[in-house]
């Protein structure tokens, strides 16, 4: 298994943290929704990606990391 595949779950966290900072910087300049009902499409796409990465970081990554650690500690029959 290559190194980048072994740490795939952690790459999700790194991508999330980077995306969050980028989103924070962008939302300081402009707004996702405008009072006229318009949608800033690039910002909306980035928001969606960062939200998916956040959900994965919070709900999937910890479980996956734990499963891998336990599998190493408790070898199968």
Closest CA to 44 of 18, 29, 58, 23: 23
**In whole angstroms, how close is the CB of 14 to other proteins at the nearest point?**
16
Q: Which residue lies nearer to other proteins by CB, 7 or 20?
A: 20
Give the residues lining the site for other proteins (CB under 8 A). 20-21, 23-25, 27-28, 31-33, 35-36, 47, 50-51, 54-55, 58-60, 62-64, 66-67, 70-71, 74, 76-77
Q: How far apart are the C-alpha atoms of 74 and 67, rounded to whole Å?
A: 10
Q: Which residue lies nearer to other proteins by CB, 3 or 39?
A: 39
């Amino acid at each position: 298994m290559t190194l980048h595949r072994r740490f795939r779950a952690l790459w999700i966290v790194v991508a999330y943290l980077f995306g969050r900072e980028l989103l924070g910087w962008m939302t300081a300049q402009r707004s996702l929704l405008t009072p006229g009902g318009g949608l800033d499409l690039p910002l909306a796409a980035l928001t969606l990606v960062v939200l998916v990465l956040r959900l994965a970081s919070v709900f999937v990554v910890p479980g996956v990391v734990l499963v891998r650690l336990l599998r190493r500690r408790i070898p199968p029959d």
